[in-house]
Structures are given as structure tokens and as C-alpha cells.
A = this chain, B = another copy of it.
Amino acid sequence: MQDRAEELKSLLAKHMSEHNLKRTRQRDVILETFLRSDDHTTIDGLLEAVQEVYPAVGYATVYRTLRLFVAAGVAKERRFGDGPAMYEPAEPDHHHDHLLCTKCGRIFEFEDPIIEERQVSIAKGLGVRLTSHRMTLFGECIDKEACARHTRKR
């Protein structure tokens, strides 16, 4: 995925120059850390990782930087149910949705062209031009043992 990282970096650079934004050490570190991060990081999680490199960084900076990343198309914000928002590096040209196991908390990703297509025509049928959607499935792992193994792995 090295290519993707480069792609996202230049996407951000473009956005920043177009909007007269400045490059700072904080933003560099946050970007690097974010791109390296496991998918589905929270602000807190990212902050913690960033502070290992640059301890002075504050919550608000990470918060605002993620907002910048989202605006630049570099990050996707995901709000599953209750907890804090989660962020993952964007995948230009790809879209995926999520499936959560409510027992172990694992997050699976998938994409399905049939559903996407259906959504567009459903919207059209209601007189609406579809611009985006949010879909999350919830279920329970069929393999109980694997599920238990993942439980509480925060």
C-alpha cells in the first residue's frame, strides 16, 4: 500500500496549497502516523500514537487535523453507533462498508456493487439523486471460538 500512501500525501499537499494552509511538524507527524495506523483509529488512539513521536501535540490539533484530512479526501470518518468517531485512510475510487460482530467487536469490510446499484435506483425512485450512504451490518461470528479469541482485544 505504499502507493496509496503517496497518493494520499499528494492529495493533501494539493488541498493545502489550494487553501493556503501551512505545513507544520504536527501535521507531518499526524499524517505519517495516520497512514501507518491500523484502520479505524479514534482521535484518542491516534493522539496516543502521535505523542510517542511528538509528545507535545494536543487533542485539539489531532481533532482539527483529522477534519482537514477529511476535507482533503485523505481520511474517511466512520461513526458506528455509540462510541467516538473512527477514521481510516481514504481509498480513492473505492467504497466499502462495514460489518461488526457485536460479541467480539471485530470489524469486517466489504463492498457490494449490487447493493450500491440498488441504492442508486431506490433513491431515483424517490426523486432523489444519491450522493452517499452509510451502511453497517451487525451480527455474531459463526465461529464461536475465533470470536472468543478476539473478545476483549480492545
Contacts and interface: CB of A to CB of B under 8 A. Distances in A.
Contact of A131 (B135, B138, B146): B138
Nearest to A124: B142
A142 to B, nearest CB: 5
Interface string A123-138: 1111111111111111
Given A112-B122, A118-B115, A138 B130 contact: yes
Interface in A109-124: 110, 112, 114-115, 118-119, 122-124
A81 interface: yes
Contact of A136 (B122, B128, B134): B134
Interface residues of A, number: 35
A140 interface: yes
A141 interface: yes
A129 B143 CA distance: 10
Interface of A: 79, 81, 99, 101-102, 108, 110, 112, 114-115, 118-119, 122-143, 146
Ranked nearest first, the 7 interchain pairs of A and B with the lowest CB-CB distance are A128-B139, A135-B135, A130-B139, A133-B137, A132-B138, A108-B126, A131-B139
